[in-house]
Amino acid sequence: MSSPNNREFFSVLTVSAAVAGFRPGRRTPTENVALGEALGRVPSEPVRAPHDLPGFPRSTVDGFAVRAADTYGASDGLPGYLEVLGAVQMGMTADVELRSCGALAIPTGGMMPVGADAVVMIEHTSEAMAGTIEIHRAVAPGEGLVRGDEDAKSGDELTRAGRPLRPHDLGLLASAGVTTVRVHARPRVAILSTGDEVVPYECAELLPGQVRDACALPIAALVREAGGEPVPCGIVPDDPEALREALLGAMTGSDLIVITAGSSVGARDETAGVVASLGEPGIFCHGLALQPGKPTLLAQCGDVPIIGLPGNPRSALVVFRLIGSPLVRLVGGWEAPVHEPVVRARLSRDLPSVAGRLDVVQVRLLDGLAEPIFGKSALLSMLVEADGYLTVPEPATGLDEGADVEVTLYR
């Protein structure tokens, strides 16, 4: 077993310094996807309108297409009179041109006939006699319609690069007839579990001392949520040669490598040693001023970023949310801010903390109170019980009962 001196991490960073400083340059290549598969994908270039949208002037109400000037002065007391020349059919050009003192019935969404510049709502008309309507309210030019380029002009940017496509973005692109979008490929994230005691979770019967792999599956889920494609690489024993071989294999074809490290100091040191041997620039930091999650390794070998997660499952998942998910997004070309659901609450009790360290504390929420859940880093049930988590920032030595806190909700 190592002597106490070997336990010192050789470069412990604050989480904010790590997030700010560890910015690998690797970006996934681009590819075309069908619009129907593009939800959440990250465009690598802006998509521009191939033509004006909606492409022709459309009525926005049910009523009568008119020349606005023909309605001036019309009121309930002194209605104007217009001759009904016909009706616009949905989805067709009007076959009649509007002339002065005429009107064409038009449904919402109908194409404005030539010669008309406004639509009077049907509520502001009445039938005077067969073929003639009374107009009870004047309309201005442009009223009751959208212009042919009002949703977008030809060449306008419809969606921007670097922001994942949202449902309504797909709607605007569909209305423009865009059928494929150029996007960043999903980052391929290799997930290696390590540890002599770890067996696949599908293992029904355990031998004494064995535990099932509790990390690979939730990390894969978090990778998917961040837009990546998890590549499960199985379980590697606590053996430097085996780990080296597995990592070399994973580096080919992966955009990012995640190692759930063995949790003993020996296993941690071995992981760091093997990662350092894989190539320049090597280890960025080994250790974060973070509770739970201190024994975290960040490195880059060639242009492949590598994250070594702590061995305790709860620590590993806390670290992956803080550091791993943003890295997956970065490599995948994501440039927009990420919005997590948060709620404000009052802290139910004093929460001690050590200055200089970020504390991530799971909480239950009840009636506006955030109740911290205390327990060991090895326990996953604490995460499952939690509604979310709060952080005690690095300079603080704790938070007082009743403090106003922001809780990020797990989902």
Distance in angstroms (rounded) separating the CA atoms of residues 377 and 369: 23
Cis amide bond preceding 326, omega within 30: no
* Least distance in angstroms from the C-beta of 1 to a copy of itself: 5
Task: State which of positions 67-96 bind a copy of itself (CB under 8 A).
Answer: 87, 89-93
Selected binder of a copy of itself within 24, 187, 292, 313 (CB under 8 A)? 313
* String marking each residue 268-307 x if it binds a copy of itself according to CB under 8 A: ----------------------------------------
Burial, 362: exposed, middle or buried (Cβ in 10 Å; 0-12, 13-18, 19+)?
A: buried
Task: State which of positions 236-255 bind a copy of itself (CB under 8 A).
Answer: 238
Task: State which of positions 4-43 bind a copy of itself (CB under 8 A).
Answer: 4, 7, 35-36, 39
Distance in angstroms (rounded) separating the CA atoms of residues 290 and 90: 63
Please report whether residue 346 would count as binding a copy of itself according to CB under 8 A. Answer: no
Tell me the number of residues near a copy of itself by CB under 8 A: 103
Comparing CB distances to a copy of itself, the nearer of 30 and 175 is 175
Distance in angstroms (rounded) separating the CA atoms of residues 133 and 80: 8
* Least distance in angstroms from the C-beta of 169 to a copy of itself: 6
* Least distance in angstroms from the C-beta of 402 to a copy of itself: 20
Distance in angstroms (rounded) separating the CA atoms of residues 279 and 287: 20
For residue 94, the 8-state DSSP code is -
Rounded to 5 degrees, φ, ψ at 50 are -75, -15
Distance in angstroms (rounded) separating the CA atoms of residues 34 and 6: 53
Selected binder of a copy of itself within 43, 79, 80, 262 (CB under 8 A)? 262
Burial pattern 100-127, b for ≥16 Cβ within 10 A else e, equals eebbbbbeeebbbbebbbbbbbeebbee
Comparing CB distances to a copy of itself, the nearer of 152 and 259 is 152
* Least distance in angstroms from the C-beta of 9 to a copy of itself: 14
| E-assigned strand segments in 317-403 | 342-347, 351-352, 358-366, 369-372, 388-392, 398-399
Q: Which stretch binds a copy of itself (CB under 8 A): 71-79, 298-306, 326-334, 337-345?
A: 337-345
* Least distance in angstroms from the C-beta of 222 to a copy of itself: 5
Please report whether residue 259 would count as binding a copy of itself according to CB under 8 A. Answer: no
Q: How do strand 290-291 and strand 358-366 relate by DSSP bridges?
A: parallel
Q: Which stretch binds a copy of itself (CB under 8 A): 183-191, 298-306, 335-343, 397-405?
A: 335-343
* Least distance in angstroms from the C-beta of 362 to a copy of itself: 10
List, as one string, the DSSP characters of 124-162. GEEEEETTEEEE-S---TTTTEE-TTSSB-TT-EEE-TT
List, as one string, the DSSP characters of 16-73. HHHHHH------PPEEEEEGGG-TT--BSS-EE-SS-BSSS-EESSSEEEE-GGGGTT
Task: State which of positions 175-204 bind a copy of itself (CB under 8 A).
Answer: 175-177, 179, 195-198, 201-204
* String marking each residue 127-166 x if it binds a copy of itself according to CB under 8 A: -------------------x---xxx-----xx----x-x
12 CB-near residues (< 8 Å, 6+ apart): 285, 286, 287, 288, 289, 294
Task: State which of positions 94-123 bind a copy of itself (CB under 8 A).
Answer: 105, 107-111, 122-123
Distance in angstroms (rounded) separating the CA atoms of residues 143 and 290: 60
Selected binder of a copy of itself within 128, 211, 251, 403 (CB under 8 A)? 211
Task: State which of positions 369-388 bind a copy of itself (CB under 8 A).
Answer: 376-381, 383-384
C-alpha 102, offset from chain centre: 52
Please report whether residue 322 would count as binding a copy of itself according to CB under 8 A. Answer: no
Please report whether residue 215 would count as binding a copy of itself according to CB under 8 A. Answer: yes
Please report whether residue 410 would count as binding a copy of itself according to CB under 8 A. Answer: yes
Distance in angstroms (rounded) separating the CA atoms of residues 235 and 20: 31
Comparing CB distances to a copy of itself, the nearer of 219 and 278 is 219
Tokens matching residue 224: 């998917």
Comparing CB distances to a copy of itself, the nearer of 164 and 372 is 164
Q: Which stretch binds a copy of itself (CB under 8 A): 17-25, 66-74, 299-307, 333-341?
A: 333-341
Selected binder of a copy of itself within 71, 263, 300, 391 (CB under 8 A)? 263
Selected binder of a copy of itself within 82, 116, 191, 222 (CB under 8 A)? 222
